[in-house]
Amino acid sequence: MSAADVPGPDGSAVAGARERVKAVAAPRMTWVTLALMTTSSVASLRSSPTMAVYGLACVFLYVVPAIVFLLPTALVSAELASGWEGGVYNWVAQGLSKPLGFLAVWCQFAMTIFYYPSLLAYVASTIAYVVDPSLASNGLYTAIVIMVLYWTGVWVSSRGTNAVAGLASWGLIIGTLIPGALLVVLGFVFLGQGNDSAAPMTADHLLPAWTGLASLVLIVNNFLSYSGMEMNAVHVSSLRNPGKEFPRSMFLAVGMVLLIFILPALAISWVVPADQLSLTAGVMQAFDAFFQYFHIGWLTPLIAVGLVAASLGGMLTWLAGPSKGLLMISRQEGYLPPSLQKLNKHGIQQNILVAQGVVTTVIALMYALIPDVSSVYWIFSVITTQVYLIVYLLMFAAAIRLRRTQPDHPRGYRAPALVLLCVVGLLASAAAMVIGFVPSSQFGGGSVWSYIGIVGGGLLLLGVIIPFAFLKASKPEWRDPAAAAAVEEGTA
């Protein structure tokens, strides 16, 4: 939440000072730089195994959500960010209502509760390929790694260390670009030497085989893969000509993101058969297969270190971001009790992180209790997507209403055909939410109703019951607008 939105004299003073600073030296950014920033925040190799099971059809399964979700999200959020500071809370609060604004920022925070276990399960399987590959499918080992790494991350974040920024900024290079490029090059050389692809690469496999609705369920995971575009939209005002440069930047970013997603997924499908592919360890399975074939197995630990560093950097970034946004909104509007609003001596919302960690620990134990690690990973990925989709449903609805109720409000960028973009985004998000309740054809032989119960229960608890319980319990005396402004300015 921007200090400019904080009511009272303190908020006005901060806002006035900020406007004077902007007038003296407005930041400038090239559209290419923004495209690279967007690519680094969206693209990763973690989801590649999820789509690699479809072979050549992964191209279709990546391109479709990019058209119906990624582009609408980027262009719509750019208009909102260029007209209203404060992020998704202020957009939804202005367009719909403050309680729904809290729901949006809560869901942005709550999705991380399931995001961390699925991310760290990927890290655990990557580490396993250096220590003992058989551990990659061991639930107890995975649960222990999740808990140790998460609480270590909380300790690092709670100390306000500058190492977080450095680790996160190098993540794109050492954990995505270099391993991704190496994976693709090895794949092309592998095929070039006359080896057969593990997955058919003929034209009749461009579309996924239709075996019912379940055959398309994995497309849901791609919506989460593309999430985060709205965070980069705040930089639209830094462009010299937002109307022309932002769409250009987004189309370049979409192209780069698709290459980073599609090519490594194809490379994995060339060397690892779909029925042997682990959704958590698939990247390392492919590297291990290529390295064994080319007799360069000594590279396995180096690649694992890069992938782990990138993932941990991303986790530390997410630990600090959504929880701080929730803290500022709660201090301004009194949504959370004072005990969760307290900061430690480093100015970090440690109590929120600890409360989140308790829930994360309980979820991590499910890896030890459910035999199939890939199934647990997939369920958590779906719940994460379901909760985050609520944010986008609210954002698209708010954008339509703001265009109608505040048509003359200054905007640095106006999205073309905004209502059409929002309708497409709304329909795509709603369809993804519905499809998310259908077990994947790769899910296994578990009970369908158990799957629906777990996913539906997770969505209902995190996306409805908890946020509305906080809204119901909120009290005026919990508000502290001046403290919220201080947190944002880094002085608390």
Here the tokens at position 480 are 């502290």
**Confidence class of residue 468 from pLDDT cuts 50, 70 and 90?**
very high
Average pLDDT over residues 4-27: 40
The confidence score (pLDDT) of residue 295 equals 92
Residue listed under structure tokens 């980027």? 74
pTM: 0.77
The confidence score (pLDDT) of residue 366 equals 78
CB of 38 within 8 A of CB of 250? yes
Q: Which domains does the chain have, with CATH numbers?
A: 31-472 (1.20.1740.10)
Q: Is the pLDDT of residue 415 over 80?
A: yes
Average pLDDT over residues 446-465: 85
The residue among 18 and 321 whose pLDDT is bigger is 321
CB of 311 within 8 A of CB of 81? no
The residue among 16 and 375 whose pLDDT is bigger is 375
**Confidence class of residue 183 from pLDDT cuts 50, 70 and 90?**
very high
* CA–CA gap between residue 1 and residue 86 (Å, rounded): 4
Q: Say which residues have a Cβ less than 8 Å from residue 381's Cβ, sequence separation at least 6.
A: 50, 114, 118, 221, 224
For residue range 380-402, list pLDDT tens digits in order.
778 888 888 999 999 999 999 99
The confidence score (pLDDT) of residue 241 equals 82
The confidence score (pLDDT) of residue 221 equals 60
Q: Which of 483, 29, 400, 378 is nearest to 237 (CA)?
A: 29
Q: Is the pLDDT of residue 4 over 50?
A: no
The confidence score (pLDDT) of residue 170 equals 67
CB of 70 within 8 A of CB of 261? no
* CA–CA gap between residue 13 and residue 179 (Å, rounded): 48
Q: Is the dihedral of CA 190, 192, 193, 199 positive or negative?
A: positive
**Confidence class of residue 27 from pLDDT cuts 50, 70 and 90?**
low
Percent of the chain residues past pLDDT 70, beyond the cut: 82
The confidence score (pLDDT) of residue 234 equals 64
Here the tokens at position 77 are 């959020």
Q: How does the average pLDDT of the chain come out, rounded?
A: 80
The confidence score (pLDDT) of residue 220 equals 63
The confidence score (pLDDT) of residue 444 equals 55
Weakest-pLDDT range from 107-116, 173-182, 434-443: 434-443
The confidence score (pLDDT) of residue 320 equals 66
Q: Is the pLDDT of residue 109 over 80?
A: yes
The confidence score (pLDDT) of residue 395 equals 95
The confidence score (pLDDT) of residue 99 equals 92
The confidence score (pLDDT) of residue 440 equals 66
**Confidence class of residue 92 from pLDDT cuts 50, 70 and 90?**
very high
For residue range 33-60, list pLDDT tens digits in order.
888 777 776 777 877 887 888 889 889 8
Q: Which of 330, 328, 352 is nearest to 490 (CA)?
A: 328
Q: Is the pLDDT of residue 276 over 50?
A: yes
For residue range 287-317, list pLDDT tens digits in order.
989 999 999 988 888 888 888 877 777 777 6
Q: Is the pLDDT of residue 451 over 90?
A: no
**Confidence class of residue 22 from pLDDT cuts 50, 70 and 90?**
very low
The residue among 461 and 279 whose pLDDT is bigger is 461
Q: Is the pLDDT of residue 88 over 50?
A: yes
The confidence score (pLDDT) of residue 117 equals 83
Q: Count CB-CB contacts under 10 A for residue 135.
A: 18
Average pLDDT over residues 365-390: 77
The residue among 223 and 460 whose pLDDT is bigger is 460
**Confidence class of residue 168 from pLDDT cuts 50, 70 and 90?**
low
Count the alpha carbons within 13 Å of 330 in the hemisphere toward its beta carbon.
25
CB of 430 within 8 A of CB of 386? no
The confidence score (pLDDT) of residue 58 equals 87
Q: Say which residues have a Cβ less than 8 Å from residue 21's Cβ, sequence separation at least 6.
A: none
* CA–CA gap between residue 155 and residue 153 (Å, rounded): 5
The confidence score (pLDDT) of residue 182 equals 93
Average pLDDT over residues 259-285: 88
The confidence score (pLDDT) of residue 186 equals 94
